[in-house]
Amino acid sequence: MPQLVDGKWEKGDVAASEMRDGAFHREPTSFRNWITSDGSPGPDGQAALPTEAGRYQLFVAFICPWASRTLMMRNLKGLQDIISVSIAEPELGENGWTYAEPQDAGPRLAKIRYQHELYTASDPHYTGKVSVPVLWDRKEGRIVNNESADIIRILNTAFNQLSDNMLDFYPQTLRPEIDRWNAPIYEKVNNGVYRAGFAKTQGAYEEAATDLFEMLDTLEAHLSQSRYIAGAHFTEADIRLFVTLIRFDCAYHGAFKCNLRRLEDYPNLSNYLREIYQWPGIRETVRIDQIKRGYYSIAHINPTRIVPVGPALDLDRPHDRARLDGHGVVTL
């Protein structure tokens, strides 16, 4: 995978630092500032910028599950007219994430075609992977944050005074339970599919695949008794899980060899997936065609780059999740 080295774009497989002993290890994100209503420090003392309508922009790609988290939260919080969005092409080519048309990034940077331009504008000597999503400050011409887990929490609260949307997807009372589930879901499912798909040894692949399907089995059992991950309330834990589940049968099952079972083989998980997909504002964040194009364009995964015609997915089929309805369910 190409990346930036001291502010210069290097083509070829220069991001080999993510592979160790045949196993995939995700590179940590680098930009971790915050946005708060008044510019006061973030929850862990991070430097923060103040809330302003039209000041911030998301740079994302429909293929990317991490980016889809932020699109989901933007829609659920009603921020479509407050935070603008630019959508990259699904294929990750020799220039990295690319926009079909030049994107307006504000007066300091003007228009960009490549995601790496945002990174070098923020740090002229940046070295590392260039990823989506990016939460961008159009006013100052720099990246605020490129960690999706942070961005969804920023969007959850920072713009409440502008949107009048008080839905809380990380409520104080549920945080211990949300965090308890987030950790294994990230390691074994969200990142687990990549550990399986990018593995370069049989052992690394089998370890990742075993972890993945054991966790899916655990989630299947849990969702037989609980409508959502943290109980009766839909929370960020569900957002974080959904973005991997929606890509499972159409991409990870085939392209990443996560093929012990399909998601359709899990009654509770597949019903849960359809319920969330059918919520207002969620289907707009999902483009199955772009997801397939993107994953099957990865040359070392699929050298022919032929995109399969299937599988046939019916995400609008009725679901049975109302049987687990309880008090306090967030409805939209």
Name residues whose C-beta falls within 8 Å of residue 182's C-beta, 6 or more positions apart in sequence. 236, 237, 240
Measured between alpha carbons, how far is 46 from 145 in angstroms, rounded to an integer? 11
* H or E segment to which residue 206 belongs: helix 202-222
Strand bridging mode 56-61 / 84-88: parallel
Assess contact for 76 and 167: CB atoms under 8 A: yes
Quote the distance between the C-alpha of residue 306 and its chain's center: 24
- φ and ψ of 155, to 5 deg: -65, -25
Which residue out of 64, 119, 277, 295 is catalytically annotated? 64
Question: Is residue 250 annotated as a catalytic residue, yes or no?
Answer: no
Active site residue 64: yes
Query: What would the DSSP string read from start to end of 37-71?
Result: TTS---TTS--EEE--TTTEEEEEETT-HHHHHHH
Active-site residue, from 114, 119, 194, 228: 194
User: Distance (Å, rounded) from C-alpha 113 to C-alpha 98?
Assistant: 6
Q: What is the DSSP letter of 260?
A: S
Q: Which residues are catalytic?
A: 64, 194
